[in-house]
């Protein structure tokens, strides 16, 4: 049985690499721990700022470096405005007092830059509106305005995987303006049911969240004594993602589903309830988790295997969930929401050191809820992807005495299931999902003149039943999508 261990050790090396990378970033934030509430205070003061709509700013708003501490021009102005006063009680008034200044000398006041989404402490952080089109008219598209022909072609390319045919293009051109807009949405509806969109495009958008590894997954061709070395099957993850982001379904179930998705012999989706046993002659590949402990993509056998592995406190799993489903990367100091008294350093890893505490004051309360879920137990491989109430006490000395609280987005929860539900109902989840589709469709993050339309798209998700399809119908109507 040496070969499976080799594969596990290789995966563990990658897992440890992630931990070390995270620790490396944490170590770069030493003295900033004294002000971990800065991003929250900024977004409470400027709730309408583009950077605070469904996400949060980072320490870079004020700092060139946090270890050693160094301020940019805006941070220096804020520091001076505080005049040594206690930070949390006075930062809002200090921020307001420097709004009319132009800290970085680029010609825009600090308040104007905050409204645009550029950095008031960096003279190179600028944005220029689109220039007015000049010269001869483009023979194919209307430049500088929403062009239905351009949008129609883009829909066919992005969502059907091919340009419209000559006949389709001719028929589209012969229609009036209102009919053309209707034809764009008809084409989109057709494309969103296509094999290209569901099996290729949607699957590609899932890669960063799932990260398939052939050596551990169902595609491996390694056999040991007749056993296929599959430790988990990531196709369950892909199918759930594809199912929920198609067919007008509720995207929140990416984090709340307590079922799995398979296909019947005709290729149609079908829900699978209950426990799914591992296939015969394999170490994994089923879904052994009892439904009441499931939280969609966060608790698949594959996600637990890959992101928990041997960790007693599954920080990588928690950081992955925060980053991929809320768009908040703690290693970049995004989404810092300190919990009082944290980090506890419950597993004696030194995370309460000043260099690490800023990130871990948010990360660890997220991680505790994952501690009941098994990653890899070399003595009991059939435990992978299961829930064990006794696991934290077995793996973490002092767990029972510490009684750590589970907290996400400033909200205390009782379990990973509750934590995932809280995430799924957040503005961060909505914005992040919309951003995935925006970047796919437009090719870049929203820029200042696109933010108003973008915000209108993602804030409509509750009214649209959290449907990815309806979100995309809104997206193709935006100037960002339809202006050549």
3-state SS, 52-72, equals: HCCCCCCHHHCEEEECCEEEC
Q: How far apart are CA 459 and CA 111, in angstroms?
A: 24
369 pLDDT band (50/70/90 cuts)?
A: very high
Q: How far apart are CA 318 and CA 325, in angstroms?
A: 11
Compare 22 and 121 and report the one with higher pLDDT.
Answer: 121
Which of 4-8, 173-177, 286-290 has the weakest average pLDDT?
A: 4-8
The angle formed by the CA atoms of residues 273, 277 and 280, to the nearest 5 degrees, is: 145
Compare 32 and 347 and report the one with higher pLDDT.
Answer: 347
Compare 115 and 466 and report the one with higher pLDDT.
Answer: 466
Reading the block at residue 62, the tokens are: 């004020």
Q: In a 3-state reduction of DSSP, which class is residue 262?
A: strand
Query: Per residue in 176-203, pLDDT tens?
Result: 878 999 999 999 999 999 999 999 999 9
DSSP code at position 48: T
**What's the confidence (pLDDT) of residue 419?**
98
Q: How far apart are CA 158 and CA 150, in angstroms?
A: 12
- With 0-12 CB in 10 A as exposed, 13-18 as middle and 19+ as buried, what is 441? middle
**What's the confidence (pLDDT) of residue 418?**
98
Q: Find out whether 230 and 217 touch, Cβ atoms under 8 Å.
A: yes
Compare 440 and 121 and report the one with higher pLDDT.
Answer: 440
Reading the block at residue 474, the tokens are: 């809104």
**What's the confidence (pLDDT) of residue 483?**
94
Helix/strand/coil percent split, the chain, to 5? 50, 5, 40
Place of tokens 């296929």: 228
Of residues 86, 30, 97, the one with CA closest to residue 63? 30
Q: How far apart are CA 158 and CA 472, in angstroms?
A: 11
47 pLDDT band (50/70/90 cuts)?
A: confident
Cis link prior to 68 (omega < 30° from 0)?
yes
16 pLDDT band (50/70/90 cuts)?
A: very low
Reading the block at residue 193, the tokens are: 């049911």
- With 0-12 CB in 10 A as exposed, 13-18 as middle and 19+ as buried, what is 143? middle
Q: How far apart are CA 262 and CA 270, in angstroms?
A: 5
Instruction: Give the sign of the dihedral formed by CA 272, CA 387, CA 230, CA 208.
Output: positive
Alpha carbon separation from 219 to 32, 36, 212, 213 (Å, rounded): 45, 44, 9, 9
Mean pLDDT, rounded, of the chain: 87
Q: Find out whether 384 and 375 touch, Cβ atoms under 8 Å.
A: yes
Compare 378 and 77 and report the one with higher pLDDT.
Answer: 77
Of residues 188, 144, 143, 147, the one with CA closest to residue 164? 188
**What's the confidence (pLDDT) of residue 233?**
94
β-bridge partners, 271:
261
Q: Find out whether 314 and 308 touch, Cβ atoms under 8 Å.
A: yes
Query: Per residue in 408-465, pLDDT tens?
Result: 999 999 999 999 999 999 999 999 999 999 999 999 999 888 999 999 999 999 999 9
Q: What is the DSSP string of 172-183?
A: HHTS-HHHHHHH
Which of 258-267, 348-357, 429-438 has the weakest average pLDDT?
A: 348-357
Query: Per residue in 272-302, pLDDT tens?
Result: 999 999 887 667 899 999 999 999 999 999 9
Mean pLDDT of 248-263: 98
Q: How far apart are CA 175 and CA 324, in angstroms?
A: 42
Q: Find out whether 221 and 336 touch, Cβ atoms under 8 Å.
A: no
Q: Find out whether 439 and 477 touch, Cβ atoms under 8 Å.
A: no
Ranges of each domain in the chain: 2-116, 148-188, 195-425, 428-482
How many Å from the N-terminal Cα to the C-terminal Cα in the chain? Answer: 58
H or E stretch covering 263: strand 260-263
Q: How far apart are CA 364 and CA 348, in angstroms?
A: 12
Is a pLDDT exceeding 70 seen at residue 3? no
Alpha carbons within 13 angstroms on the beta-carbon side of residue 144 total 10
Is a pLDDT exceeding 50 seen at residue 5? no
65 pLDDT band (50/70/90 cuts)?
A: confident
Is a pLDDT exceeding 70 seen at residue 8? no
> What is the distance, to the nearest Å, from the Cα of residue 12 to the centroid of all Cα atoms in its chain?
23
Top-confidence range, 126-130, 320-324, 332-336, 357-361: 320-324
Q: Find out whether 210 and 274 touch, Cβ atoms under 8 Å.
A: no
Task: Determine how β-strand 411-413 pairs with β-strand 260-263.
Answer: unpaired
């Amino acid at each position: 049985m040496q070969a499976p261990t080799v594969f596990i050790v290789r995966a563990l090396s990658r897992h440890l690499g992630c931990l070390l990378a995270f620790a490396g970033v944490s170590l770069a934030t030493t003295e900033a721990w004294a002000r971990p509430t800065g991003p929250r205070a900024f977004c409470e003061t400027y709730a309408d700022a583009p950077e605070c709509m469904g996400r949060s700013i980072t320490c870079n708003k004020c700092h060139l470096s946090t270890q050693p501490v160094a301020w940019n021009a805006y941070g220096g102005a804020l520091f001076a405005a505080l005049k040594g006063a206690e930070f949390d009680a006075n930062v809002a008034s200090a921020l307001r007092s420097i709004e009319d200044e132009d800290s970085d000398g680029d010609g825009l006041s600090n308040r104007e830059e905050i409204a645009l989404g550029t950095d008031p402490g960096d003279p190179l952080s600028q944005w220029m509106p689109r220039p007015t089109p000049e010269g001869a008219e483009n023979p194919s598209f209307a430049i500088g305005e929403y062009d239905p022909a351009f949008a129609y072609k883009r829909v066919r390319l992005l969502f059907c995987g091919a340009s419209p045919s000559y006949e389709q293009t001719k028929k589209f051109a012969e229609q009036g303006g209102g009919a053309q807009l209707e034809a764009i949405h008809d084409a989109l509806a057709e494309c969103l049911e296509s094999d290209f969109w569901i099996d290729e495009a949607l699957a590609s958008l899932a890669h960063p969240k799932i990260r398939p590894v052939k050596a551990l997954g169902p595609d491996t061709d390694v056999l040991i004594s007749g056993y296929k070395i599959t430790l988990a099957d990531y196709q369950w993850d892909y199918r759930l993602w594809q199912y929920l982001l198609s067919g007008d379904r509720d995207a929140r179930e990416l984090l709340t589903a307590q079922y799995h998705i398979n296909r019947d012999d005709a290729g149609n989706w079908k829900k699978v309830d209950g426990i799914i046993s591992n296939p015969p002659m394999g170490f994994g590949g089923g879904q052994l988790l009892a439904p009441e402990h499931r939280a969609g993509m966060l608790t698949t056998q594959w996600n637990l295997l890959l992101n928990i592995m041997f960790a007693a406190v599954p920080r990588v799993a928690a950081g992955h969930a925060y980053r991929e489903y809320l768009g908040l990367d703690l290693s970049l100091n995004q989404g810092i929401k300190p919990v009082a008294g944290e980090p506890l350093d419950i597993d004696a890893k030194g995370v309460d050191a000043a260099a690490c505490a800023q990130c871990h004051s948010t990360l660890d309360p997220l991680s505790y809820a994952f501690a009941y879920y098994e990653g890899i137990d070399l003595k009991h491989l059939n435990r992978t992807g299961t829930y064990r109430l006794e696991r934290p006490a077995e793996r973490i000395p002092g767990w029972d005495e510490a009684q750590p609280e589970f907290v996400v987005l400033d909200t205390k929860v009782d379990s990973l299931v509750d934590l995932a539900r809280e995430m799924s109902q957040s503005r961060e989840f909505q914005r992040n999902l919309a951003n995935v589709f925006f970047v796919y469709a437009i090719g870049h993050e929203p820029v200042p003149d696109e933010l108003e339309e973008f915000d209108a798209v993602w804030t409509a998700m509750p009214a649209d039943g959290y449907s990815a399809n309806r979100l995309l119908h809104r997206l193709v109507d935006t100037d960002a999508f339809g202006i050549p």
